[in-house]
Structure 1
């Protein structure tokens, strides 16, 4: 059987990816949208998948920023913590724990002040120039 495993890029590239992901998560936790998108490509594609169903797809940095700013009002607190990181040839997957406090009443019955605790993963895809070109959140 032929070996089809692709050689991973250099350690410096993987370290660069990790730094960009940590910066994104730190900015997310601080609710700093400008810093969240600092390493995004202008044509970023964002997808949110919940229970194996795509619930949102955005294209372009401006569309992402608009949604991210709107989402700031949904939670009085929010925090992602990275549990693991897995690199492949052109993407990096992180598993996360997510905790938030609702700032509003949601149509699904979640009430203002309720705490949310989820586990999920995010997949960051990178261009050859090191920009994040796709982000997929899965819960």
Structure 2
């Protein structure tokens, strides 16, 4: 069972993410936040602490002209909350993999959150 408080924290984080509101995202984080992004079976990005997370979040603002995560399902897994997401974004720059400015990305993925003392202590993104 997911507490209403934890669900609200995650909802607020996703709302801030969708709004390109880095400060809003950071306000919800534990000072030692651990962020990991997994793709193709391995870790593609990892940050520890608010400063590293904030730098990564600010860099990603330049990559997308629009982005939206839509939560499709919540589940409790041990002491963590897992959300299933639909993700859509429009690129603001050309990427080395051949995607071009204006291209639309549409993905399904999941994010795992661990919340301690009312703050997000862990985020793992799987895409």
TM-score category (smaller protein): over 0.9
Matched, 1:64 2:84: no
Aligned to 1:138: 126
Aligned to 1:48: 37
Matched, 1:91 2:84: no
Partner SS state of residue 100, structure 1 = strand
Q: CA deviation at 1:37?
A: 1.7
1:16 alignment partner, one of 5, 29, 39: 5
Partner SS state of residue 105, structure 1 = coil
* Distance in 2 (alpha carbons) for counterparts of 1:126 and 1:20: 9
User: Is the radius of gyration larger for structure 1 or structure 2?
Assistant: 1
Q: CA deviation at 1:89?
A: 3.9
Q: CA deviation at 1:17?
A: 0.4
**Residue correspondences, number:** 127
* Distance in 1 (alpha carbons) for counterparts of 2:78 and 2:67: 31
Cα deviation per residue 1:6-31 (whole Å; 9 max; x = unaligned)? Answer: xx6xx6xx100000000000000000
Q: CA deviation at 1:87?
A: 1.7
Aligned to 1:80: 69
TM-score by length of 2: 0.96
Instruction: State the superposition RMSD in angstroms.
Output: 1.1
Gaps of 5+ in 1: 1-7
Q: CA deviation at 1:88?
A: 3.2
The structure where strand makes up a greater share of residues is 2
Gaps of 5+ in 2: none
* Distance in 2 (alpha carbons) for counterparts of 1:88 and 1:111: 37
Ranked by relative contact order (alpha carbons within 8 Å, sequence separation 6 or more), the top structure is 2
Q: 4+ residue stretches of structure 1 with deviation over 3 A?
A: none
